[in-house]
């Protein structure tokens, strides 16, 4: 599409001839008017319909009326002044027309209001007693503490004159329960069962004593409770009372019964067992749940403050000593728990006695000695300890030393379950330790490879000393050439030592006595002579108590010379007797 440049109008507008008739022109104006004014006309039409409809007009007024009333009342009091006389007239007219409705409404408010006022009165009295430090108040508090009751319950029992705890409305003809109310904090039992029993008792009294229809049982005593019965033409009103009720309560019961008759007369005439319609008469029964309490004089004994001060001092002293004992007890328990070898399983205080139960290793410190250090000895304390073995490394080492009894030459160490011994010890201790160490709690391995067997060492020394001994003889005889005075006793000592130590080591040994000669003489004579020389020393040892089984003799003649015989003086060293200790493997332990 092409764009044409704007053109300015240089010529006057064209005159359009009037070619439409007059009728068409009016019709066109009406159509134009309708198009232009139709929305406003529709709105006016709807507004007119709302004004003409009373229901819609009332709805619109209800939406703004509350705000209008609030605005008007906040600005001036003229509205309240004008409405008050009209409201009074309406209320009077409503009461005059139907007083039952007003009575019903008022009764529903009186019951809760009465209970609320009574509750506030009791709470006020309770608060006054709670804040009071009178002797009676303290006595009641102690009673509440010992009996498990609340303080308010004890106050009520002591200050109560009477209280109606339950009210039963019963249909006379059927004995059915119409309604039942229970006071606050009162345990209620099966109301239908109670109503049936009361009806049965009432009928029993009338039948037994031949009373008239309107006369019957009025009072029934059950322990500390009493039951008052108010009888009407068609209903029984029974109330359960704690305490001694005033006679004025009868008036309250009659008024309640009459009010119920006024409201439920038609329902009672056609009663067929459905008591759901009597839910509305509960407020009348609740009015009967009244209570009265003793008035408080507010007087106190003149000596009250003295007693109170003394009591306060006593309580303060008791609290101080209790706190002190508790602190000492806590510190003592902390000390015990920190001690190795002591495990506390339970700790409690029972009737002034402190009781501790736990486990204690025999190596642990004595708890009684800790009491003296903790300044806890003035308190009564019972401790029950059961023995056990603590796995503390220091305790395991001390326990090992107690069991094994190591000699001073032995050093015991314990590390990671292994007990190590180092040093020198008798053979018997080493053998026993290898067995006992396995039974020590906490010892899983025993190392004794660095322990020197002192008995075995001594055996080697004595053996060596015996084997270097020499006894020399004269030429071709069994006579000693030269013997020191202590040579034979020393030989006997060495032999006994070897045998005794071998027995300790559980080894079998015997001593070989070997005779020698020089080269003089024939071989046969030398052999016989050397044997006789050995037998001479064997006989000496046997006479001194050495077992013959432990001694053997042998004669080797000149076959084992000590020296070469280069000269005559060398031969004397070959005429001798020597010793040899022969040991067999040790016996298995």
Same domain, 131 and 280: yes
- Beta strand pairing status for 160-171 and 235-243? antiparallel
Helical ranges in 405-522 per DSSP H = 427-436, 454-467, 487-504
414 DSSP β-pair partners: 419
For residue 393, what are the CA distances in angstroms to 2, 177, 367, 419, 551? 112, 82, 21, 10, 52
Same domain, 439 and 537: no
With b for 16 or more beta-carbon neighbours within 10 A and e for fewer, the 195-218 pattern comes to bbebbeebeeeeeeeeeeeeebbe
Exposure on the CB side of residue 273, measured as CA atoms within 13 A: 1
| Dihedral Cα 481, 482, 487, 491, nearest 10 deg | -20
Please indicate, yes or no, if residue 6 is contained in any of the structural domains: no
Same domain, 129 and 223: yes
Q: Is 473 exposed, middle or buried (0-12, 13-18, 19+ CB in 10 A)?
A: buried
Residue 380 near residue 353, CB atoms below 8 Å: yes
Same domain, 118 and 247: yes
Supply the DSSP string of 245-312, one letter for each residue: --THHHHHHHHHHHHHHHHHHHHHHT--S--GGGGGGHHHHHHT--EEEPPP-----TTHHHHHHHHH
Please indicate, yes or no, if residue 15 is contained in any of the structural domains: no
Counting the structural domains of the chain, the total is: 4
Please indicate, yes or no, if residue 14 is contained in any of the structural domains: no
pLDDT by 10s per residue, the chain, length 589: 444 444 444 445 444 445 445 566 667 777 777 777 777 777 777 777 777 777 777 777 777 777 776 676 656 556 666 777 777 777 777 766 666 665 655 555 555 555 555 555 555 555 544 445 456 667 777 777 787 777 666 666 666 788 888 888 888 888 888 888 888 877 776 777 777 777 777 777 776 766 665 566 778 887 778 888 888 878 888 888 888 888 888 888 888 888 888 888 778 877 877 777 788 888 888 888 888 877 655 445 556 677 778 888 989 888 887 888 788 788 888 888 888 888 988 888 877 788 889 998 888 888 877 776 656 656 678 888 899 888 888 888 888 888 888 988 889 998 888 899 988 888 888 888 888 888 888 888 888 888 888 888 888 899 899 888 899 998 888 888 888 778 889 999 999 999 998 888 888 898 999 999 988 888 899 899 989 999 999 999 999 999 999 999 999 988 888 888 777 778 888 889 999 999 876 655 4
The domain boundary residue, chosen from 293, 328, 363: 293
For residue 13, what are the CA distances in angstroms to 4, 9, 17, 376? 21, 9, 12, 128
Output the CA torsion sign for 364, 365, 371, 373.
Answer: negative
Same domain, 378 and 397: no
Exposure on the CB side of residue 139, measured as CA atoms within 13 A: 4
471 DSSP β-pair partners: 577
Same domain, 323 and 444: no
The domain boundary residue, chosen from 452, 482, 499: 452
- Residue 20, both tokens: 């439409």
Please indicate, yes or no, if residue 534 is contained in any of the structural domains: yes
Angle, helices 248-269/99-131, rounded to nearest 10 degrees: 140
Please indicate, yes or no, if residue 464 is contained in any of the structural domains: no
Same domain, 368 and 447: no
Residue 289 near residue 165, CB atoms below 8 Å: yes
CATH number at residue 232: 3.30.450.70
Same domain, 365 and 504: no
pLDDT at residue number 304: 64
Please indicate, yes or no, if residue 35 is contained in any of the structural domains: no
The domain boundary residue, chosen from 329, 359, 385: 385
Same domain, 123 and 245: yes
Contacts of 393 (CB under 8 A, 6+ apart): 414, 415, 442
Residue 533 near residue 555, CB atoms below 8 Å: yes
Q: Which residue has the tokens 């000695």?
A: 369
C-alpha–C-alpha distance, residues 395 and 339, integer Å: 12
- Beta strand pairing status for 445-453 and 418-425? parallel
Same domain, 122 and 258: yes
Q: How far is CA 12 from the centre of its chain?
A: 112
Same domain, 480 and 565: yes
C-alpha–C-alpha distance, residues 289 and 134, integer Å: 31
Please indicate, yes or no, if residue 174 is contained in any of the structural domains: yes
pTM of the model: 0.39
Please indicate, yes or no, if residue 259 is contained in any of the structural domains: yes
Query: Which range marks the domain in which residue 423 is found?
Result: 393-452
CATH number at residue 445: 3.30.1340
DSSP 350: E
Residue 516 near residue 577, CB atoms below 8 Å: yes
CATH number at residue 480: 3.30.1330.60
Same domain, 148 and 283: yes
> Vertex 330, ends 326 and 332: CA angle to 5°?
115
């Amino acid at each position: 599409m092409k764009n044409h440049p704007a053109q300015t109008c240089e010529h006057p507008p064209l005159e359009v001839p009037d070619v439409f008739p007059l009728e068409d022109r009016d019709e066109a104006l009406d159509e134009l008017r309708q198009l232009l004014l139709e929305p406003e006309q529709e709105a006016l039409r709807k507004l007119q319909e709302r004004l003409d409809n009373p229901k819609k007009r009332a709805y619109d007024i209800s939406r703004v009326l509350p705000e209008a009333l609030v605005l008007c009342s906040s600005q001036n009091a003229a509205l309240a002044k004008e409405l008050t006389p009209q409201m009074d007239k309406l209320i009077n007219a409503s009461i005059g027309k139907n007083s039952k409705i007003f009575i019903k409404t008022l009764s529903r408010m009186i019951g809760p209001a009465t209970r609320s006022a009574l509750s506030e009165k009791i709470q006020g009295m309770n608060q006054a007693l709670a804040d009071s430090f009178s002797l009676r108040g303290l006595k009641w508090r102690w009673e509440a503490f010992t009996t498990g009751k609340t303080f308010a319950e004890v106050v009520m029992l002591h200050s109560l004159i009477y209280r109606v705890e339950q009210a039963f409305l019963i249909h006379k003809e059927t004995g059915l329960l119409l309604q039942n109310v229970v006071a606050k904090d009162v345990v209620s039992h099966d109301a239908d069962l109670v109503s049936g029993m009361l009806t049965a008792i009432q009928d029993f009294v009338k039948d037994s004593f031949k009373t008239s229809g309107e006369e019957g049982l009025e009072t029934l005593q059950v322990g500390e409770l009493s039951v008052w019965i108010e009888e009407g033409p068609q209903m029984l009103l029974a109330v359960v009372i704690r305490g001694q009720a005033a006679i004025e309560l009868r008036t309250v019961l009659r008024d309640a019964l009459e009010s119920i008759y006024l409201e439920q007369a038609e329902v009672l005439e056609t009663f067929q067992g459905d008591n759901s319609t009597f839910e509305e008469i509960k407020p009348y029964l609740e009015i009967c749940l009244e209570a009265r309490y003793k008035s408080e004089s507010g007087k106190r004994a003149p000596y009250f403050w003295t007693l109170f001060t003394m009591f306060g001092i006593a309580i303060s002293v008791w609290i101080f000593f209790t706190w002190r004992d508790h602190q000492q007890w806590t510190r003592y328990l902390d000390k015990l728990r920190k001690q190795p070898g002591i495990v506390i399983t339970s700790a409690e205080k029972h009737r002034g006695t402190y009781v501790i139960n736990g486990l204690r290793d025999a190596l642990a410190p004595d708890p009684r000695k800790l009491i003296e250090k903790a300044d806890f000895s003035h308190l009564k304390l019972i401790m029950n300890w059961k023995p056990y073995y603590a796995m503390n490394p220091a305790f395991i080492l001390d326990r090992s030393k107690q069991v094994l009894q190591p000699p001073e030459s032995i050093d015991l160490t314990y590390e990671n379950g292994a007990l190590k011994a180092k040093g020198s010890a008798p053979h018997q201790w080493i053998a026993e330790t290898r067995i006992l160490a396995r039974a020590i709690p906490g010892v899983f391995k025993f190392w004794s490879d660095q322990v020197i067997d002192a008995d075995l060492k001594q055996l080697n020394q004595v053996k060596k000393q015996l084997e270097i001994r020499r006894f020399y003889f004269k030429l071709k005889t069994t006579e000693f050439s030269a013997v020191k005075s202590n040579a034979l006793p020393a030989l006997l000592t060495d032999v006994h030592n070897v045998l005794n130590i071998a027995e300790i080591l559980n080894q079998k040994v015997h001593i070989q006595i070997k005779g020698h000669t020089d080269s003089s003489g024939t071989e046969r004579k030398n052999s016989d002579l050397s044997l006789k020389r050995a037998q001479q020393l064997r006989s000496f040892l046997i006479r001194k108590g050495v077992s013959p089984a432990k001694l053997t003799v042998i004669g080797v003649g000149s076959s084992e010379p000590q020296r070469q015989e280069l000269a005559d003086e060398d031969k004397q060293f070959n005429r001798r007797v020597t010793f040899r200790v022969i040991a067999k493997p040790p016996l298995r332990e």
